[in-house]
Chains A and B, each alone.
Chain A
Amino acid sequence: NAGVTQTPKFRILKIGQSMTLQCTQDMNHNYMYWYRQDPGMGLKLIYYSVGAGITDKGEVPNGYNVSRSTTEDFPLRLELAAPSQTSVYFCASTEVPNTEAFFGQGTRLTVV
């Protein structure tokens, strides 16, 4: 029972490069979320999805894009990496609203 799986675990990007953070869950959850966690700060919502084909912006969406073509996968795309995007990124899913969220192990991204 894998839960929520994120890849890669670590990545260093140069300014202006692009990358996709992968997230997949095997619990058939409709709701999926991307958060970023900066030192000394609470997790901030980047994007969320309430089902396949439906995505929307969260609190800090600038510089990111998402897609949700299947229930299982919710990749996060960085098009032009900037130092401000240095952070730890967490993907999460819930079966229904107002229930426990399952988090992945995180992706630590450094932009230099």
Chain B
Amino acid sequence: EDQVTQSPEALRLQEGESSSLNCSYTVSGLRGLFWYRQDPGKGPEFLFTLYSAGEEKEKERLKATLTKKESFLHITAPKPEDSATYLCAVQAVANSNSGYALNFGKGTSLLVTP
């Protein structure tokens, strides 16, 4: 059974204090790993897709990396506006019988204080 586990559940950082969020996964054939940001009361907003081990993508203060077992979302010098819940999701070959729907982790709630 496909599993996606995110850690930590919650993270509190001072502004400028860099850190990383982890997403470990067990799937039978990874088609893609996705990172989303979710603000309170809003729908998830797409950040990155990673397709193969060794791939990296960057956007402003965020950098996502992928290995065969896990992905990291690195946050460099975060600002208060980076506060949100970050969701990791995988799409597996086995998901082809569900329209290639995403299998989500529970998320990491990030709070960045001034």
Write the chain B residue with the least CB distance to A46.
B101
Q: How many CB-defined contacts (below 8 Å) exist between A and B?
A: 70
Asked whether, in the complex, the Cβ of A105 is within 8 Å of the Cβ of B43, the reply is yes
Given contacts A48-B98, A49-B99, A58-B101, contact A100 B41 (CB under 8 A): no
Instruction: Give Cα A35 to B49, complex, Å.
Output: 20
Asked whether, in the complex, the Cβ of A106 is within 8 Å of the Cβ of B42, the reply is yes
In chain B, residues 5-23, which have Cβ atoms closer than 8 Å to a Cβ of chain A? none
Asked whether, in the complex, the Cβ of B43 is within 8 Å of the Cβ of A90, the reply is yes
Chain A: residues with Cβ within 8 Å of the partner, total of: 29
Interface residues of B (CB under 8 A from A): 4, 31-32, 34, 36, 41-46, 49, 51, 87, 89, 91, 96, 98-107
Interface residues of A (CB under 8 A from B): 4, 31, 33, 35, 40-45, 48-50, 56, 58-59, 90, 92, 94, 97-106
